Structure 1
Amino acid sequence: MTGGTQGGNTVGIGELATRTGLPVKTIRYYSDIGLLPECGRSPGGHRRYAADALPRLRLIQRLRALGTPIAAIAAVMAGERSLAELVTRELDAIQEQLREATWRREVLSALDDCPGPERLRRLAVLAGVGSPDDAHDRLVRYWHWALPADLPHRLAQAVIDGAVPAPPAAPTTANVLAYAELHAVATAEDRRRQPQPHQVGDVASFYAGLLDACGLAGEALVSGCPDLRAEALDHFVRAYARIGGHDDTPAFRARLRARFRRGTRAGSFSLRYWRQAFAVTGETPRPSAASGRGHLAAPLAALHHQIAGLPLTADTL
């Protein structure tokens, strides 16, 4: 609309400023970037706006008061996104910012509450993580590298889902430090591959047996059922017996016990990895969204405890 548009169906920029309390220059800015299109000019060249400009401007004003980005408001004004969708997206963005801020706070706390030499060591470990999501991706890549190449995809994915904890959504200082230590173990030069197909038994059967054993051990941890605990140990031992071409005999169990006790030495790769995973995930297995299984650290700790006679704690896993 151009020319004589000062009548009752349009409103001037001054009236909009008066009704909303916004400065004229702010309204002009909203017009210039397309949030509040003008519908024409008065004979004197002043901007005129359609009758719906006031509620439109008030919506912009209220969204800006909440800190909503201009780009997000523009999508609503253009009809590309509903107000409900904007709220959902903004809430998701805030949740992510809070997660990042919480992680950073706990990282700094881990550096603050320690003596000087340990602070330098922790700084190197924590700096290697980058973002927690990047660290998680690198842990997943490690397990893809570490597992036998011919392991069936679904079985390999189940192992990876159980072996790689997600970064805690509400981490403590201990969680953040343990996740960084876990990442450092998996990216170190002395990282290890898992059992390879040249062994006597079927590797796929071995990993399937371990997952079954850990599933039962996880249920036993939650329920406290001694029968489940004993059944889990039987599955665990049989998996190791089959892969080596042995029978599950008292003599084999004695050798397996000695092997796991040797594996508790400070330099053990498995001990370092699962100790930190256990510190991240805790004693009760939480099912993953992908597989429905809990993380493997706690069930493995329980099984190691049964075989080697170790207390079920992060310090002695």
Structure 2
Amino acid sequence: MAPLHYLFLSLCFVSCTFAQLKRFHHSSMEDGSLNFLVVGDWGRRGDYNQSDVAFQMGKIGNELDIDFVLSTGDNFYDNGLTGVNDPTFEESFTKVYTATSLQKQWYSVLGNHDYRGDAEAQLDPILRKIDGRWLCLRSFVIDTEIAEFFFVDTTPFVDQYFAIPNEHSYDWRGIGVREKYMANLLKDLDSALRESHAKWKIVVGHHAIRSVGHHGDTEELVKRLLPILETNNVDFYMNGHDHCLEHITSKNSPLQFLTSGAGSKAWRGDAKGWNENGVQLFYDGQGFMSVQLNHMVAELRFYNVFGRVLHKWHMSKPLHSAI
């Protein structure tokens, strides 16, 4: 059971303005600040140091008194869940993230490995009955007053998953006509971002837009998603997919690219090398990220599997700036 200060009732479903993007509300702290953790590519029944990362997340979560956790996808390896009764859900989630500080809401997107299994299972409310922390949808918005989080289903954008023949099968139920799905999602995202008056705008997806890790830039997102983020003054794009920690500064806008995909198995020494953007951090080991927001400052910290701070960065905004 989550602690009383979590206030589950503050997570209220409100009327949906956009076709794809369901909206939820999560209350921030009394002073308007917000603290949370970001982790991705984690679900391996505690193996590959997942349990060690979870332990450090619990410690940092307690120190920061976090409000929630963001999962950047690839929640269950290697091939997602087989259904809502798959024991992998509890073995890789409930029984691993046991710290008191982590008994908060988890907001999750699907990754490409999740699509290899029963993708619909991760979206099913039955999982929330098994573990009330779990909330995973294809694309949605979390409104916290000080910040809005726009979760984007990036897997359908990647051409290689639709190649024929393909060594993997993917669960495309719920997608329908691919091009129509993507066009509607981008249209709804653009509308939601334009209408947002939040101090901070944060977009979360599984695949990287900019990365110097194993997979590198996702060209489909560079072409179709990045212009929308830059036009709408998005502050941070957070992703997983590459099993590393990265902070890359855009050369064209204030947008920061933040990879937190190091929740379990990592790829040592597997990097593509620096690109034309400003690489502030590349770490090819396990770890996670924390974010602290208030009306003036955002502070990011990246931690390794031992809880050591690898990189710290902050961004300031005028108190009364208009978005």
In the superposition, the TM-score normalised over structure 1's length comes to 0.22
More strand by share: 2
More helix by share: 1
Higher RCO structure, 1 or 2 (CA under 8 Å, sep 6+): 2
Structure label with greater radius of gyration: 1
